[in-house]
A and B are shown apart, each in its own frame.
Chain A
Amino acid sequence: MATLEIKDLYVEIEGKKILKGVDLTINTNEIHAIMGPNGTGKSTLAQAIMGHPKYVVTSGTITLDGEDVLEMAVDERARAGIFLGMQYPSEITGVTNADFLRSAINAKREEGDEISLMKFIRELDSKMEFLEMDEDMATRYLNEGFSGGEKKRNEILQLTMLKPKFAVLDEIDSGLDIDALKVVSKGINDMRGEEFGCLIITHYQRLLDYITPDKVHVMMQGKVVKSGGAELAHKLEEQGYDWIKEELGIEDETVELEV
């Protein structure tokens, strides 16, 4: 079992304090969902875990099986087993999806132990079929001209090909129609198991109809204010967030606007 542990995390962006003491522990074989209204720091948490250069951790720790994640460069975090499914994946002209994936897979392997082309193609083909992606998506330039849904599917393709220990999925469900949502959920459920833990960030209960979370957390004002099981997501869907605000005496749940 592997553990990703976040303790008392404070994060700023361009001098604005966004996260104000986040505590969260995720084990493999667990799927956590973070819910919460806009502007409460959810995406900031995702970016800080991956090491986005604009997000500055001012105090607190993130560890992966006791190893200090904050000391690692972005690529080292990825090679240690952390994956971020991005809300807005970059488009990169001239680099094909397949070449990119192969570079990423080989980055984790030792020199001389690169994945064979045949094996890579076989695996790519089967994952793409599983995710109901057009064949030409492999040879198209990375995310270039992809629709919103195609980009999200492509994030899940990368997830299933790279097989990280922990995935943080930042609004992987926004902008998806119901068919795409089912496919994306299928991809995530397929990863479920002893070797994999996941943190899903979402506004909507809808995704959680297809992926049953083990734990649900609510973020407000830059920290986790409430945690529970899958039933918490249902309660939020039915009743919204006001009852939590009342319970905790919160008037404005947002931190400064997320960037």
Chain B
Amino acid sequence: MTVETKLALTEQDVRSYSAKMNEADWMADFRADALVRAGQLPMPKPDKTKIDKWNFTEFPAHTVESTVYASLDELSEEARALVDKEQQNSIYVQHNNTPAYLFLSEELKAKGVIMTDIFTASREHSDLVKKYFMTDGVKVDEHKLTALHAALMNGGVFVYVPKNVVVEEPIQVLFLHDDEQASLFNHVLIVAEANSSVTYVENYLSTVEEAKGLANIVAEVFTGDNAQITYGAVDVLAKGFTTYVNRRGVTGRDSRIDWALGLMNDGDTISENITHLVGNGSHCDMKTVVVGRGKQRQNFTTEIVHWGTDTEGFILKHGVVKEESTCIFNGIGRIAKGATRANAVQESRVLMLSERARGDANPILLIDEDDVTAGHAASVGRVDPMQLFYLMSRGIKQQEAERLVIHGFLAPVVSKLPIEGVKKQLTEVIERKVR
């Protein structure tokens, strides 16, 4: 089905935005081409969630101007809490759509590590960005929302780690949202060349009461042979946002991509997290925690595709659903023909805290090869009364007992986040959301 969608921006608009942001010339053409496709391509069809009535195309403003920060001390208290006070790690801060602060240690610069906003990257590292930007990871023409993302991208970051470079301290990115008119079309591109390793942690922090904009976010993550990327994220986008977030990984031989995602949005969300295990012997570990509340509708697709031989994929998702919210968990392990000795394992657990909450865990295994191992476990249930009885029999009040059980339920993912401040923030957000 093809639906012509009238879009808020014209070709001229995206070209002049590209020029204003001083992007590489090819990027302007890329955007213009994507805009045409966005008008023609169909919407994605997330399994078990109908989104044809959701608004993914209309928004109050393509970009808003926000202040930059001379130092991290100018951040709001909430944002400041996310940053390690003991030592300054390499960090990029984006304020709504404005690249607002960047610090990359001299040591990393000297080793050839790149971290910069996506616009500057397209200009200064044009060849690298062109090679990876929406080519082998997320493709422009997958559906309307990927094309729209490419056309309207208004923020994001590029991280590049050269061959044999091990980045010891986590690299941190803060996407701060405090303007209710702002929309976020952020693109994150991470490339770790052969034998390198990096830990990347991003936070979406939205402090408005009710957002009026859209979020259409794409992250693409590439490992070279024997490289490692650990990707941690905590999304806290305010109520009002309709969010499409697509995080994708592609692995080289014997490499590894590990995800730890805390998806704590308060608006309707479609989240897709897919890793293509292309290189033989590569490995992916995907951990996700989710809390749904109010009337939120959310759909989380987590997929690992095994192309290479001896690849291993582990999916672990834990979700808490309360009030009248709906959470759909689609977990997919796909093993292509030829991916011998692949191992695809997944586990999805949903805990429902109210009668009207709806949780759905759909484990799917698609296997085109004989010599493989695969397994899945899924459950949807309520807080175990025996656990509560046990805790209460030691004097712990019911409310506190429930809190302990819920935190414990989410802990396997929370504990994997690599930055203490971020872990603490996620714990606090969970606390706030489940109370």
B400 adjacent to chain A (CB < 8 Å): yes
Instruction: Give chain B nearest CB distance to A246 CB in angstroms.
Output: 38
Instruction: Give chain A nearest CB distance to B396 CB in angstroms.
Output: 5
A107 contact set on B, CB distance < 8 A: 394-397, 400
Q: Are A93 and B409 in contact, CB atoms less than 8 angstroms apart? A: yes
Q: Are A93 and B393 in contact, CB atoms less than 8 angstroms apart? A: no
B412 contact set on A, CB distance < 8 A: 93-94
A84 adjacent to chain B (CB < 8 Å): yes
A50 contact set on B, CB distance < 8 A: 389, 393
Give Cα distance in the complex from A230 to B296, angstroms. 63
Q: Could you say which of A37-45, A74-82, A191-199 contacts chain B?
A: A74-82
A103 adjacent to chain B (CB < 8 Å): yes
Q: In the complex, which of the residues B387, B393, B396, B412 has the most CB atoms of chain A within 10 Å of its own CB atom? A: B393
B409 contact set on A, CB distance < 8 A: 93-94
A92 contact set on B, CB distance < 8 A: 387, 390-391, 404-405, 408
Residue from B390, B397, B398 in contact with A90 in the complex, judged by beta carbons closer than 8 Å? B390
Evaluate whether A74 and B404 lie within 8 angstroms (CB atoms) in the complex, with A53-B385, A90-B386, A90-B387 already known. no
Q: Are A108 and B395 in contact, CB atoms less than 8 angstroms apart? A: yes
Q: Are B404 and A95 in contact, CB atoms less than 8 angstroms apart? A: yes
B408 contact set on A, CB distance < 8 A: 92-95, 141-142
Tell me the nearest residue of chain B to A79, going by C-beta.
B395
B77 adjacent to chain A (CB < 8 Å): no
B384 adjacent to chain A (CB < 8 Å): yes
Residue from A79, A89, A93, A103 in contact with B390 in the complex, judged by beta carbons closer than 8 Å? A89
A120 adjacent to chain B (CB < 8 Å): no
B378 adjacent to chain A (CB < 8 Å): no
B411 adjacent to chain A (CB < 8 Å): yes
Instruction: Give chain B nearest CB distance to A157 CB in angstroms.
Output: 12
Interface residues of A in 39-60 (CB under 8 A from B): 50-53
Evaluate whether A104 and B384 lie within 8 angstroms (CB atoms) in the complex, with A52-B389, A94-B412, A95-B408 already known. no
Q: B391-435, CB under 8 A of A: which get 1 and which 0?
A: 111111110110011011111100100000000000000000000
**Interface residue count on the A side (C-beta < 8 Å):** 29
A51 contact set on B, CB distance < 8 A: 393
B405 contact set on A, CB distance < 8 A: 92, 95
Interface residues of B in 367-398 (CB under 8 A from A): 384-387, 389-398
Q: Are B395 and A162 in contact, CB atoms less than 8 angstroms apart? A: yes
Which residue numbers of A lie inside 8 Å of B, CB to CB? 50-53, 73-75, 77-79, 83-84, 86, 89-90, 92-95, 99-100, 103-104, 107-108, 141-142, 158, 162
Which residue numbers of B lie inside 8 Å of A, CB to CB? 384-387, 389-398, 400-401, 404-405, 407-412, 415
- Beyond the given pairs A75-B398, A78-B395, 17 more chain A to chain B contacts, judged by CB atoms under 8 angstroms and listed by A's residue number, are A50-B389, A75-B392, A75-B401, A78-B393, A83-B393, A90-B387, A90-B389, A90-B390, A92-B390, A92-B404, A92-B405, A92-B408, A94-B412, A103-B396, A104-B394, A104-B395, A142-B408
The 7 A-B pairs of least Cβ separation, nearest first, read A94-B408, A94-B411, A78-B395, A104-B394, A90-B390, A74-B392, A107-B395
A-B contact pairs, 20 of them (CB 8 A): A50-B393, A51-B393, A52-B389, A53-B389, A73-B392, A74-B389, A78-B393, A78-B394, A83-B393, A83-B394, A84-B393, A89-B390, A90-B386, A90-B391, A92-B391, A93-B412, A94-B409, A103-B404, A107-B396, A142-B408
